[in-house]
Structure 1
Amino acid sequence: MISIEQAKLMAKKLRASLDTRHQPVSHSTALELVAQQLGYKDWNTASALLLQEPGPSTITFDKPIPILRMFDEAKAREFYLTFLGFSVEFEHRFEADLPLYLGIQRNGLQLHLSEHHGDASPGATVFIPMHNIEQLRDELLAKRYGYGRPEIVQQGWGRVLEVYDPFGNRLRFCQD
């Protein structure tokens, strides 16, 4: 993710580059252009949503990684890898006949699946903000998965595509 400071530097470089081409722009115009290039409506929106550079004593958090309970490795792989299109980041077992702890990811979304008793309770919901929800729906419907054919539901705050894994966990993909 680009920080506010990086975006301001981009605007400064853009302004200097345009000056060499005899196309001067104001600093505020350069900021607006950079904001639009980064996919924001305007600089005010970008500056509110871009990351602040943390100071040395600032507490910061990285994105969380939900842990979901699973009970059957084959069903978990069928659902998460084959149906949803995740790939395996890592697999861990303390010994061959002990529970599996599985890290999976798809395009920036990371989930951990665990057979360990104390790691998570079945029936969790993961809220997943995303882009291109129609494309995900079309991809999932094309797979003709026998245990679910999710559709997009329009809510007052955005569109939702919910899928349920074989263990009672719900993945709520959302686009506003």
Structure 2
Amino acid sequence: MATVKPILRIFDYDKALEFYIRWLGFRIDWEHRPEGSPAYLQVTLNDVTLHLSEHHGDGSPGARVFIDDFVHLAPFHQQLLAKEYKYNRPGLETPFYDPTALEMTVTDPFSNRLIFVERL
């Protein structure tokens, strides 16, 4: 089976690290950041892998990534709230399309949205 790794456009490396690494808890797998060049990196949280790119043409801000079958969403939600990240206080709700699921949407500093869903 193929693996999908969305490329999300970012505009500020430090803000991306604050959001993805320090708040959400992703880890940097690798990065390509030659001096004077835009950053390109791969980040992972559990089995979710994303590419973040400062390169022009690597995606448009405002993308949506649907992360289905995320395990232990309610405890993850509580961990995020406990960190008191001042730019994002996501809710946890039952989506209209599945009354047996939980959904949480977070928006990064570049208007990309990550939608985490757990099937109960």
Bin for the TM-score computed over the shorter chain: over 0.9
Structure 1 unaligned residues grouped into runs of 5+: 1-60
Residue in 1 that maps onto 2:105: 162
Which of the numbers 69, 77, 81 marks the counterpart of 1:141?
A: 81
Measure the CA separation in 2 of the matches of 1:173 and 1:83. 15
Residue in 1 that maps onto 2:22: 82
How do 1:1-176 residues align onto structure 2 when only pairs under 5 Å count?
Answer: 61-93=1-33, 95-129=34-68, 130-156=70-96, 157=98, 158-176=101-119
Select the structure that is richer in strand: 2
**Count of residue pairs brought into register by the alignment:** 115
Measure the CA separation in 2 of the matches of 1:74 and 1:96. 15
Residue 118 of structure 1: how far off its partner (Å): 1.0
Select the structure that is richer in helix: 1
TM-score normalised by structure 1 residue count? 0.63
Residue 91 of structure 1: how far off its partner (Å): 0.6
Instruction: Give the match's secondary structure for 2:15.
Output: helix
Measure the CA separation in 1 of the matches of 2:93 and 2:44. 25
Q: More deviation in 165-174 or 150-159?
A: 150-159
Measure the CA separation in 2 of the matches of 1:100 and 1:118. 13
Measure the CA separation in 1 of the matches of 2:25 and 2:71. 16
Residue 136 of structure 1: how far off its partner (Å): 0.9
Cα deviations by residue, 1:27-72 (Å, 9 ceiling, x for unpaired) = xxxxxxxxxxxxxxxxxxxxxxxxxxxxxxxxxx322001100000
Larger radius of gyration: 1
Q: Which has the bigger relative contact order, CA under 8 A and spacing at least 6?
A: 2
Instruction: Give the match's secondary structure for 1:162.
Output: strand
Measure the CA separation in 1 of the matches of 2:71 and 2:45. 13
- State the 4+ residue runs in structure 1 displaced beyond 6 angstroms: none
Give the CA RMSD over aligned residues: 0.9
TM-score normalised by structure 2 residue count? 0.92
Aligned residues with identical type, % of pairs: 46
